[in-house]
A and B are shown apart, each in its own frame.
Chain A
Amino acid sequence: MGLLAPWFLAGLGLLGLPLYLHLLKRHKSTPQHFSSLMFFERSTSASVRQRQLDYLLLLALRLALLALIVFAFTRPFVTSTAAGPGGDRLLLFAIDESASMAFGDRLPRAKQDARAVLSQVRGNTRAQVIAFSSSARLLNEPTADPAILQAALDSIAPTGARSSLGDLAGALRNLARASAAPVEVHLFSDLQRSSMPPGFAELRLEPGTQLVLHRSADKDEPNWTVESVSAPGRLVDPKSARVEATLAGHNTPESTRFVELRVNGRTVARQSAVIPASGRAVVAFTGLDAPFGFSRCEVAFAEPDSLPADDRSFFSVQRADPERILFLHGPRSAASAVFVRAALETAAPGLFTLDVLPAASAASLNLDKYAAAVLSDPGPLPASLDTALQRHVEQGRGLLLAVGPATTAAGKAPVAGLSIRGSQYEARAADRFSSLGEADLAHPAIARTDRWDGVRFFQLFDLEPGSATVVARATTGAPLLLEWRKGAGRALLLASTLDNDANDFPLHPAFVPFIDQSLRWLSGLEERAARLTVGAALDLKSDASSAASVEVLDPDGDRALSLADSARQSTLALDRPGFWEVRRPGGRQELVAVNIDRRESDLTLMPLDSAELWQGAPLDRATPAPSATAAAEPRRRQLWPWILAFALLAGLGEAFVASQHFSREAL
Chain B
Amino acid sequence: MNQRFLDPQILAGIANLELTAKTVVDGFISGLHRSPDFGFSQEFAEYRPYVPGDDLRYVDWNVYARADRLYLKRYRGETNTRVTILLDRSASMRFQGRGVSKIDYARFLAASLAYLAHRQRDAVGFIGFDDEVRDFVEPSSRQGTWLKVLHGIDHAEPGHRTDFAKPFFLFQDMLRRRGIVIVLSDFFAPPAEIIHTVAPLRHRGNDVLLFHVLDPEEIRPSLAGPRILIDLETGQELEVSPEFATSSYPARIDAHLEAMRSHAQGAGVSYQLLETGRPLDAALREYLTIRQGRL
A562 within 8 A of B: no
Instruction: Provide the B207-234 mask, 1 if CB < 8 A to any CB of A, else 0.
Output: 0000000010010010111111111111
Contact of B241 among A27, A34, A44, A666 (CB under 8 A): A44
Complex interface: chain B residues within 8 A of A43 (CB): 239-241, 243-244, 248
B102 within 8 A of A: yes
Complex contact A667–B242 (CB within 8 A): yes
**Contact of A32 with B228 at beta-carbon distance under 8 Å, contacts A39-B252, A40-B238, A40-B249 already known:** yes
B residues apposed to A, CB below 8 Å: 92-95, 102, 186, 188, 215, 218, 221, 223-234, 236-245, 248-249, 252-253, 256
Complex interface: chain A residues within 8 A of B94 (CB): 35
Complex interface: chain A residues within 8 A of B233 (CB): 35-36
Complex interface: chain B residues within 8 A of A36 (CB): 92, 186, 188, 218, 231-233
Question: Given the complex of chains A and B, what is the CA–CA distance between A35 and B241 in angstroms?
Answer: 17
List A residues 42-88 near B (Cβ within 8 Å).
42-44, 46-48
Question: Given the complex of chains A and B, what is the CA–CA distance between A41 and B231 in angstroms?
Answer: 12
**Contact of A31 with B241 at beta-carbon distance under 8 Å, contacts A39-B256, A43-B248 already known:** no
Contact of A667 among B218, B225, B236, B249 (CB under 8 A): B225
Question: Given the complex of chains A and B, what is the CA–CA distance between A46 and B94 in angstroms?
Answer: 31
Complex interface: chain B residues within 8 A of A40 (CB): 229, 238, 240, 244-245, 249
Complex contact B238–A41 (CB within 8 A): yes
A29 within 8 A of B: yes
Say how far B12's CB is from chain A's closest CB, in angstroms: 18
Say how far A405's CB is from chain B's closest CB, in angstroms: 95
A543 within 8 A of B: no
A30 within 8 A of B: yes
Q: Is the interface of B mostly helix, strand, loop or mixed?
A: mixed
Contact of A35 among B223, B226, B232, B242 (CB under 8 A): B232
Complex contact A667–B224 (CB within 8 A): yes
A-B contact pairs, 29 of them (CB 8 A): A29-B225, A29-B228, A29-B239, A30-B227, A31-B227, A31-B228, A31-B230, A31-B237, A32-B228, A34-B95, A34-B221, A34-B230, A35-B93, A36-B233, A38-B188, A39-B253, A41-B238, A41-B240, A43-B239, A43-B248, A44-B240, A46-B241, A46-B243, A47-B226, A664-B225, A665-B225, A666-B224, A667-B224, A667-B242
Complex interface: chain B residues within 8 A of A44 (CB): 226, 239-241
Complex interface: chain B residues within 8 A of A39 (CB): 249, 252-253, 256
Complex contact B188–A35 (CB within 8 A): yes
Sample of 10 more A-B contacts, CB < 8 Å, known A29-B225, A36-B232, A40-B229: A29-B239, A31-B230, A34-B230, A35-B231, A35-B232, A37-B229, A37-B231, A37-B238, A40-B249, A47-B241
Complex contact B186–A29 (CB within 8 A): no
A588 within 8 A of B: no
Contact of B240 among A38, A42, A664 (CB under 8 A): A42
A26 within 8 A of B: no
Complex contact B256–A32 (CB within 8 A): no
Sort A-B residue pairs by CB-CB distance and give the 10 closest, nearest first.
A43-B244, A35-B95, A36-B188, A35-B92, A47-B241, A39-B252, A34-B229, A31-B228, A43-B241, A37-B231
Say how far A50's CB is from chain B's closest CB, in angstroms: 9
Question: Given the complex of chains A and B, what is the CA–CA distance between A46 and B223 in angstroms?
Answer: 15
Q: Which residue of A lies closest to B246 (CB)?
A: A667
Q: Which residue of A lies closest to B254 (CB)?
A: A39
Max count, chain A CB within 10 A of own CB: residue among B92, B240, B249: B240
A33 within 8 A of B: yes
Max count, chain B CB within 10 A of own CB: residue among A30, A35, A665: A35
Q: Which residue of B lies closest to A33 (CB)?
A: B230
Say how far B207's CB is from chain A's closest CB, in angstroms: 28
Complex contact A35–B186 (CB within 8 A): yes
Complex contact B232–A34 (CB within 8 A): yes
Complex contact B231–A34 (CB within 8 A): yes
Say how far B25's CB is from chain A's closest CB, in angstroms: 28
Complex interface: chain B residues within 8 A of A667 (CB): 223-225, 242
Q: Which residue of A lies closest to B94 (CB)?
A: A35
Question: Given the complex of chains A and B, what is the CA–CA distance between A399 and B44 in angstroms?
Answer: 135
Say how far A29's CB is from chain B's closest CB, in angstroms: 5
Question: Given the complex of chains A and B, what is the CA–CA distance between A46 and B231 in angstroms?
Answer: 23
Complex interface: chain A residues within 8 A of B229 (CB): 31-34, 37, 40
